[in-house]
Structure 1
Amino acid sequence: MDEKLSKVDPKLLDLLVCPLGKGRLTLNRQTNELISESARLAYPIRDGIPIMLVSEARRIED
């Protein structure tokens, strides 16, 4: 994985919430996504920038 992709400012992560469920997000370093457990969505991180659009998020299946 490109090292640049996984670099997200930790302070930014503390401020971000899921735009759909308004819940906290956790960083999944393996998939390089921000995970919203409450909304069951995974938001991608591209070039170190979280893409916080529901239309860009991947639905988390059980």
Structure 2
Amino acid sequence: MKKRFEYKTVVVKPKVSFWTVEYDPNEMDKTLNQYGTEGWELLSVESREYMGTYIFHYTFKREQ
């Protein structure tokens, strides 16, 4: 029987205030650990510019 996988993409946005754009490493770790405990494996991270700031797309996969 062939292996089957499912995929999930999660968007991580920064906290934006009037003067600053912040990325909280603890929040990013929390997201990664949450999906890791559910059996998801991180495949890639892609940053994309959106209205002057960067957002990250985490792509995960897990075997069905």
The TM-score normalised by the length of structure 2 is 0.28
Q: Report which of the two has the higher share of strand.
A: 2
The TM-score normalised by the length of structure 1 is 0.29
Structure with higher RCO (Cα < 8 A, 6+ apart): 2
Structure of larger gyration radius = 2
